[in-house]
């Protein structure tokens, strides 16, 4: 069995080895066990059901939430010489019956369907006749109300499976692993004594950084100029911000698209296609963009605003570098972001306890923006991983930093808070330090405090940033809830008495990456031509990492080419010689 699995992987996928966890998951499925695979984005979940589908007799049904994604996955499979198809609402009647007929005759190994399909009796009747080996539920967290992408139609999957004349193996996959979601997946999909695999959430190729109080447009402008070849996503909090970001990018001459719920379907899919097919480089988007964006060569994800919680942040940032190559995850933080998120929480119809939870998660997100310790460690510990090393040496907080002594500013802030009786929020404290003439400040008599206006040289926003920084470093504590109150912690006292200093190290702005080699560029050009001819996204032909390996190892013949990660026999027959030609010419 193991030999056969390796052989199929070699022939159709061209992968030299499994990624972490894949082998165990595949093995578990092939031993007819229900299986739940929890792996980070880019961890390689698809292979975990695609490979068993090829090994097992009969048809594997893949339930996947996104129509756009299905087509890409199926195109990619077909290009690897695998018979696969999809069924969703974009098909007309005759296409539908044609595909079902082929499925019945055993032509396909994989059939992708949207969960809504299972609600139509017509369709499920037809499915009853198909010999299903495996049902794979992708993005399985959609079944849980505790997840962030709840899809009611996922709730029907469990009942449908138990209605089948013969129960297939059921495998579920997700990147969201809170215990509550995991429990829901097992219960609601009706997994039977499942084997659960949880992989580390670490994404070693992602470089995390947080930049506080920088001017966002000039930061983005500079970053894009320094990385002209990088495809990437810029997430903003609101439609309005996406629109103005998009206008700004286009005005600056960058090749950009935009995506948010306020655009028409046609506009959205037009920009999305252009992005996936490498016709535009940068996508400005709200969080509506992304569930299941499989583009593997996203080189950066910039958050123009802080998202509401780390689950959302890690999922969005995690869309960078799925190919395992280095990628940047940059968060541009401003104190005002907190207000936007609080507003969104208040607006939602949430029970009081749920609201409280949202506020607590928001505070964790804010702390991420302010910590001066390893960002990767912070994230992994948030997701419950233990034994994470103190420093990853692959995030802005672990790398070279600038030291900043904020003792004097801290003393001013602390003494102002004490004089205000530790009973107010950061905004009011900052306004007093700034010396604002707000009515409320005058009414409360705070304009007569000795600390009134002692930080007038700073903006209120940057004073708030300092307060948050001191909170993240545990000198201040900020209560949760709608009107958080800032108080001193015991750590603040020695600073206030000038017995201790506060020296923080802050990240440097990332440097431009080395330019790509000529050969890599030439290979990329060829890939683009082929992709256009075939009507495929370029990364489906070969991912960046495969081209980069070609440019590094310079294979000269078929045998050497097959040793490149991502070149299987099928792909070699299709494209190998053309790529070899270029490499040979280059090495001459």
Would you count residue 198 as binding ligand ADP (CB under 6 A)?
A: no
Of 19 and 391, CB closest to ligand ADP: 19
The least CB distance from residue 266 to ligand ADP, in Å, is 26
Q: How far apart are CA 135 and CA 157, in angstroms?
A: 10
Residues 6+ apart with CB under 8 A from 84: 73, 74, 77, 78, 108, 109, 110, 111, 112
| Candidate segments 16-24, 95-103, 423-431, 441-449, binder of ligand ADP by CB under 6 A | 16-24
Residue among 262, 380, 369 at smallest CA distance from 308:
369
| Candidate segments 13-21, 146-154, 225-233, 426-434, binder of ligand ADP by CB under 6 A | 13-21
The least CB distance from residue 395 to Zn ion, in Å, is 3
| Candidate segments 34-42, 225-233, 352-360, 527-535, binder of ligand ADP by CB under 6 A | 34-42
Contact assessment for residue 188 and residue 158, using Cβ atoms and an 8 Å cutoff = yes
The least CB distance from residue 560 to ligand ADP, in Å, is 18
Would you count residue 202 as binding ligand ADP (CB under 6 A)?
A: no
Of 106 and 389, CB closest to Zn ion: 389
Q: How far apart are CA 13 and CA 81, in angstroms?
A: 9
Of 184 and 202, CB closest to Zn ion: 202
Q: How far apart are CA 33 and CA 25, in angstroms?
A: 10
Site track 317-346 with ligand ADP (rule: CB under 6 A), x = hit: -----xx-----------------------
| Candidate segments 43-51, 88-96, 123-131, 537-545, binder of Mg ion by CB under 5 A | 43-51
Q: How far apart are CA 448 and CA 441, in angstroms?
A: 10
Alpha helices, DSSP H, located in 80-188: 93-104, 121-128, 157-163, 179-188
User: 63 has which bridge partners?
Assistant: 113, 137
Where do we find the tokens 């998202």? Answer: 307
For 419-472, the DSSP string reads HTTT-S-HHHHHHHHHT---HHHHHTTGGGSTTTTTTTTS-HHHHHHHHHHHHH
Would you count residue 397 as binding ligand ADP (CB under 6 A)?
A: no
| Candidate segments 41-49, 51-59, 278-286, 323-331, binder of Mg ion by CB under 5 A | 41-49
Would you count residue 367 as binding ligand ADP (CB under 6 A)?
A: no
**Helix (H/G/I), strand (E/B), else coil: 387:** coil
| Candidate segments 45-53, 217-225, 244-252, 572-580, binder of Mg ion by CB under 5 A | 45-53
**Helix (H/G/I), strand (E/B), else coil: 206:** strand
Of 40 and 507, CB closest to ligand ADP: 40
The least CB distance from residue 377 to Zn ion, in Å, is 6
Contact assessment for residue 396 and residue 498, using Cβ atoms and an 8 Å cutoff = no
The least CB distance from residue 446 to ligand ADP, in Å, is 52
Of 220 and 540, CB closest to ligand ADP: 540
Where do we find the tokens 């992989």? Answer: 199
Q: Which of 38, 39, 100, 256 is the binder for ligand ADP (CB under 6 A)?
A: 39
Q: Which of 34, 294, 337, 473 is the binder for ligand ADP (CB under 6 A)?
A: 294
Would you count residue 65 as binding ligand ADP (CB under 6 A)?
A: no
The residues that touch Zn ion, with contacts defined as CB under 5 A, are 374, 376, 392, 395, 398
Q: How far apart are CA 239 and CA 254, in angstroms?
A: 20
Of 54 and 502, CB closest to ligand ADP: 54
Q: Which of 29, 34, 43, 59 is the binder for ligand ADP (CB under 6 A)?
A: 43
Would you count residue 71 as binding ligand ADP (CB under 6 A)?
A: no
Q: How far apart are CA 552 and CA 246, in angstroms?
A: 36
| Closest residue to bound Mg ion by CB | 45
| Candidate segments 37-45, 122-130, 150-158, 224-232, binder of ligand ADP by CB under 6 A | 37-45
Of 254 and 542, CB closest to ligand ADP: 542
Q: How far apart are CA 520 and CA 164, in angstroms?
A: 50
Select the binding partner of residue 392 from Mg ion, ligand ADP, Zn ion, none (C-beta < 5 to 8 A, by kind).
Zn ion
Site track 523-562 with ligand ADP (rule: CB under 6 A), x = hit: --------------------x-------------------
Would you count residue 47 as binding ligand ADP (CB under 6 A)?
A: yes
Q: Tokens at residue 429, please?
A: 């404290």
Contact assessment for residue 84 and residue 110, using Cβ atoms and an 8 Å cutoff = yes
Q: How far apart are CA 511 and CA 508, in angstroms?
A: 9
| Candidate segments 15-23, 258-266, 434-442, 487-495, binder of ligand ADP by CB under 6 A | 15-23
Residue among 201, 195, 196, 176 at smallest CA distance from 386:
201
Distance of CA 520 to the CA centre of its chain: 26
What is the DSSP-derived secondary structure letter of residue 171? E
DSSP strands (E only) in 204-324: 206-212, 232-235, 256-259, 282-285, 300-303
Would you count residue 46 as binding ligand ADP (CB under 6 A)?
A: yes
Of 288 and 291, CB closest to ligand ADP: 291
Contact assessment for residue 73 and residue 64, using Cβ atoms and an 8 Å cutoff = yes
Of 211 and 295, CB closest to Zn ion: 211
| Interface residue list for ligand ADP (CB under 6 A) | 15, 18-19, 22, 39, 41-47, 294, 296, 322-323, 543, 565
| Interface residue list for Mg ion (CB under 5 A) | 45
């Amino acid at each position: 069995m193991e030999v056969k699995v390796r052989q199929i992987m070699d022939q159709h996928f061209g992968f030299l080895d499994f990624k972490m966890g894949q082998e165990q998951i595949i093995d578990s499925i092939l031993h007819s066990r229900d299986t739940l695979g929890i792996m980070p984005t880019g961890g390689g979940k698809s292979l975990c059901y695609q490979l068993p589908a090829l090994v097992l007799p009969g048809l594997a049904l893949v339930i996947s939430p996104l129509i756009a994604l299905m087509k890409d996955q199926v195109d990619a499979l077909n290009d690897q010489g695998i018979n696969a198809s999809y069924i969703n609402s974009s098909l007309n009647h005759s296409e539908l019956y044609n595909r079902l007929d082929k499925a019945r005759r055993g032509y396909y190994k994989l059939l992708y369907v949207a969960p809504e399909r299972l609600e139509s009796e017509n369709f499920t009747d037809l499915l009853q006749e198909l010999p299903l080996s495996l049902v794979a539920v992708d993005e399985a967290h959609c079944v849980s109300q505790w997840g962030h992408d709840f899809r009611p139609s996922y709730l029907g999957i469990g009942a449908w499976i138990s209605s089948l004349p013969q129960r297939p193996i059921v495998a579920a996959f997700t990147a969201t692993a809170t215990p509550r979601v995991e429990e829901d997946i097992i219960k609601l999909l009706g997994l039977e004594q499942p084997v659960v695999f949880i992989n580390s959430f670490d994404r070693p190729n992602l470089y995390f950084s947080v930049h506080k109080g920088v001017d966002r447009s000039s930061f983005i402008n500079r970053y894009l100029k320094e990385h002209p070849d990088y495809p990437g996503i810029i997430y903003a909090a609101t439609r309005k911000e996406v629109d103005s970001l998009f206008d700004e990018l286009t005005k600056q001459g960058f090749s950009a698209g935009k995506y948010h719920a306020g655009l028409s379907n046609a506009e959205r899919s037009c920009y999305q296609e252009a992005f996936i097919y490498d016709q535009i480089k940068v996508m400005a988007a709200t969080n509506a963009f992304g569930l299941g964006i499989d583009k593997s060569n996203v080189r950066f994800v910039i958050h123009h605003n802080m998202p509401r919680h780390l689950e959302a942040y890690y999922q969005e940032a995690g869309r960078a570098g799925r190919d395992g190559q280095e990628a940047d995850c940059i968060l541009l933080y401003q104190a005002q972001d907190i207000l936007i998120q609080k507003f969104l929480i208040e607006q939602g119809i949430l029970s009081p306890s749920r609201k409280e939870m949202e506020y607590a998660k928001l505070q964790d997100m804010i702390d991420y923006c302010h910590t001066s310790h390893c960002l990767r460690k912070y994230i992994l510990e948030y997701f419950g991983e233990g034994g994470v090393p103190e420093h990853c040496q692959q995030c802005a907080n672990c790398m070279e930093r600038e030291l900043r002594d904020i003792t004097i500013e801290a003393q001013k802030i602390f003494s102002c808070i004490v004089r205000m009786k530790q009973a107010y929020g950061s905004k009011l404290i900052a306004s007093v330090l700034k010396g604002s003439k707000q009515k409320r400040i005058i009414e409360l008599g705070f304009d007569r405090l000795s600390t009134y206006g002692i930080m007038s040289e700073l903006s209120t926003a940057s004073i708030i940033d300092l307060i948050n920084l001191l909170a993240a470093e545990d000198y201040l504590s900020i209560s949760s809830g709608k009107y958080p109150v800032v108080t001193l912690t015991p750590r603040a006292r020695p600073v206030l008495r000038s017995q201790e200093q506060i020296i923080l190290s802050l990240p440097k702005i990332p440097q431009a990456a080395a330019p790509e080699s000529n050969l890599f560029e030439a290979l990329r050009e060829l890939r683009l031509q082929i992709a256009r001819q075939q009507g495929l996204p370029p990364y489906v032909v070969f991912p960046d990492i495969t081209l980069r390996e070609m440019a590094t190892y310079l294979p000269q013949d078929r045998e050497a080419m097959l040793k490149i990660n991502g070149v299987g026999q099928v792909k070699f027959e299709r494209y190998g010689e053309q790529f070899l030609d270029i490499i040979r010419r280059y090495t001459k």
